[in-house]
Amino acid sequence: MEILGIDIGGSGIKGALVNTETGTMLTERYRIPTPSSRKPDEMAEVVAQIVRHYNYSGPIGVGFPVSLKKGFVRARATFTNHG
């Protein structure tokens, strides 16, 4: 199956089309800097830009910089705003 994978990172939000059976990236990674405000609406807009970049409609997998245990966030990444 082919999906759009999104990686939410502290300095950049990246995306690529991925084959979920092999784990192989099917496209080059597309990266946009993470908004310095880290506000949800601005973060969502960056994700939308990546979706538009690939002209994609379908399932999306998203990774976040958090620690999970049994489905609950136990620790979150701490970002320093250098702006």
Task: Tell me the CATH class for 2-60.
Answer: alpha beta
For 20-78, how does the pLDDT look when each residue is reduced to its tens digit (9 = 90+)?
Answer: 999 999 999 999 999 999 888 999 999 999 999 999 999 999 988 777 777 777 766 55
- For 13, other C-beta atoms within 10 Å of its C-beta total 21
Domain boundaries, the chain: 2-60
CA distance 82 to 37: 10
Is there a contact between 18 and 2 (Cβ–Cβ < 8 Å)? yes
